Amino acid sequence: MFSKLFSRKKEVQPTQLLAPLTGKAVHLEEVPDPVFSQKIAGDGLAIDPTEGVLVAPVDAKVVHLFNTGHAIGLQTANGAEILMHIGIDTVNLNGEGFSAKVTTGQDVKAGQTLIEFDLDIIKNAGYPVITPIIITNSDAVESMTQFVGASVTRGQEKVLEVTLKA
């Protein structure tokens, strides 16, 4: 009799990701790597950075920090999984020019510095600095809105809004 009153579908709040880098926000299709541009690893956007500081785009837990410091995985409290991969093929630098400021398992706040990196080292080695920011558990995503085409400042402008399935 009261089942309709008590079985309301839980409303899922969207997760808003702030720019993790300062630079220009672009479509993922502009990344010169098919794993990212064809959304094989997940959907999202990319930022072409103008400075070498990567910050947390949202309050989250560090679930994976690559030992080379070129990429980091975060998970939000509601389950969104975020991968940020600094540059393309930068794993080949074996950590040169990357300095992680957090550790795996650490809780981070939006705007907190995660990794500092040297843009010149990456560019001089011949690697693109464009940085994909992707939601790796795209199968759990109900909707996603990307805010691209503009210059963004780390920790300030919203670049992604993700709503997970209930």
pLDDT of 91 reads 97
| Burial state string for 21-48 with b = 16 or more CB within 10 A and e = fewer than 16 | bbbbbbebeebebeebeebebbbbbbbb
Cβ-Cβ contacts under 8 Å for 153 (sequence gap 6 or more): 19, 22
SS3 state of residue 160: strand
Phi, psi of 96 (to 5 degrees): -65, 125
- Residues of the chain short of pLDDT 70, as ranges, are 1-11
Identify whether 115 is part of a domain: yes
Range of the domain at 24: 20-164
Angle at 27 between CA 22 and CA 32, to 5 degrees: 90
- Of 127, 134, 68, 76, the closest CA to residue 98 belongs to 68
Identify whether 3 is part of a domain: no
**C-alpha torsion sign, points 136, 141, 147, 152:** negative
Identify whether 49 is part of a domain: yes
Residues labelled catalytic = 85
Number of folded domains in the chain?
1
Element (H, E) at 119: helix 119-124
Dist CA 120 CA 107 (whole Å): 30
pLDDT of 12 reads 72
Identify whether 6 is part of a domain: no
Q: In what order do the strands lie in the sheet with 141-146?
A: 15-18, 158-164, 141-146
CATH number of the domain bearing residue 153: 2.70.70.10
Identify whether 14 is part of a domain: no
Identify whether 12 is part of a domain: no
Dist CA 75 CA 136 (whole Å): 10
